[in-house]
Every structure is written in structure tokens, then in C-alpha cells.
Structure 1
Amino acid sequence: MAAFSLTSSAVNITSPGATGTSTITLTPSGGFTGTVALSCTVAGLAAAIDPPTCAVPTPVAIITGAGAVTATLTVYTTGTGASAPTGHVAKLDKPLKRISTVGGSVSMSLLLLFGIPARRRRWKTLLSVLLFASIAGAVIGCGGATNAATTPANPGTTLGAYTVTVTGTSGATVQSTSVTVGVN
């Protein structure tokens, strides 16, 4: 039966922010010739910060004879000092915070306005309700701000062991190999 197999070499990355490579060898057997589409996925530490990513720059390998063909897997890590992932959330949080502050102020104003009996509603009462709602909205809106000075630095890719699975597909034939990646 015509098929192919994949083998790989381990990758050791000495620090977050560095890259590493592995040579993926595609070896035909049983007279296999054709194209093999390559892809990769990373698995590893469940709570990893900025886990490694991978790429196979030549996503299609062409086997034309009995000889093995190689492709290069590149593993990328994130360096230290970049903005922490929570900093990105804070940017999205600001419009939502404004909406919730305004919405809370309006809701409180309406609640107080309709909570006062109609015969007691006067312009002074309405003014005091609006003033109270404005102050409450300002107090509510003051908390939770983040900026670059208070956002902790990103420690980079979490140190540890990861596994990259490289999969080769050609028609109905699917083969894979596991690449051990150490980030030290």
C-alpha cells in the first residue's frame, strides 16, 4: 500500500521571545508519490500565558520519488515585557464601563423619580434626584481604570514542555508526528 510517514526532531527554546525549528521528514513507502498538505497544532500547559505558536512555512510537500522530503516547522514564543493580556481587555472595557455608568445613572434617576409620589414632585425634588444620580454615576464610574503604568508586564510564554503535532494529509492518507518543545 502506498503511504508516507513523518518523523521530527525535538525543539529546545532557551528563552521566551525566541524561536525554534524542527526538521520534519516525510518518507514515502510502497511507491507513494504526490503532494502532502502539512499543518501544526500546539498543546501543553493548560494555564499557559501566551503559549507558543507554530507554522510550517511550506504547507505542501511534494514527493516525486523514493527519496525522503523535508520541511521546516517553526515554533514561536512571546518575549517578556509586552503588555499583559489583561491590558487588551481593559481597552474593550472602557466603552462598556461608560455605557453601564450612564445606564445605571438613568435607571437610578427613573427609580427615584417614580418612587416619589406625584403630589410631592417639584422642580427642587427633581433637581435633587438628578444631582444625586449624577454623583452616584460619577462614583460608580471612578473604579476599575487601568493604564500602562498599572498593568503588569507580560512574563512572556510560560516556561515548560509543549507538544506540537504536525499532520500530513494526502487524499485519505493522514499521518502525524509529535514534536517535543521545551521552553526554558
Structure 2
Amino acid sequence: MAMQWLNTNSAAIQAISTVVLVLVTSWYALRAHQLTSLTNEQLKLLRKSQAPDIGVSFCGALVPMGDGQIVDVFSVSAANKGLLSVTVDSPFIQLPDRRTMVFPGGYFHSDSIFPCRLEPGEGCSVLITVAELTSGLNKAGYSGRIKIRGAYRDKIGTMYLSEPFEATC
């Protein structure tokens, strides 16, 4: 009797089995997609944790001297925001045409010796007088208002740039 019932209802049983199989397969596909997305996020975090992350800032500042004089300077700073140690070379300026300018006259002040090894959370900076920067920009053929960037380069050649800064020369 049971065999007869199964024979009579085989199409319905097959349809129900197919629906159940589709539901189970859909659930597995959804879970596999969620797992893949989670794995991709973990890979992104892993890559970020193993990549250098140097933040560069370039800004103007006023420095009071002991004799009451105030010196107008620019600060070029680097901060290691990553999880790895990074060694940076001396800072420089990236000009609007992508050429670079170092400071032949030296720095007004530097808190580090270059190349400088930056551990996570550490930073370094130099101060350049406005006169030194303006003189260098004029010698490079610039005048008026231009956008420049402070920059550092690490030992493997990666360049880290500040946001553009509008300078007058």
C-alpha cells in the first residue's frame, strides 16, 4: 500500500524534494557569500596592517626667538600611523610640475637626523624659513601663488605627500 501511494504521488514528492533542495542550496550559497565577504575584509585589514602608513603635513608656523624676534617658517612633518617601522629620508617639496626641491641651505630646525627610523606612533619634522623656501622657488622659476606639497620618501622609494599648500613666492 505504501509503495502504491509513493507511485501515485511520485511527481508531488519529487517537486517537494526539489523545493527543499533549492532552499538548502540557497542557504548554503548565502552563507558562502557571507564567509567570502568576511574573508575579503580580513585580507584588507591584514594588507593594511603590513603596509607602511606615513602621514605628512606641511604648514606655516611662527617661531619666537630668545631675543624677542619672531621667525616665519614652514613645518614639514611625518608621522607613522601604521603598525610597521618605516625609515624616511630627508623631506623635500614637490613642485606643481612634479619636480622636487630639497633645501640646500639646510633647515632652520630639525628634530631628527636623516634617514630617520619611525616606529609606529612616532614622527619627525623640520622647519624651513619662508625666506629659504621663497628663494628656492624663485630659483626654480616660480613666482606668484603656487600649490606645493611637503613630502618624504621611504627607503623602498614610496613617496608620502601632504595635502597641497598654496605658497606665494
Please report the TM-score for the alignment, with normalisation by the length of structure 1: 0.38
Higher relative contact order, chain-length normalized (CA < 8 Å, sep 6+): 1
Greater fraction helix: 2
Rg (Cα) greater in structure: 2
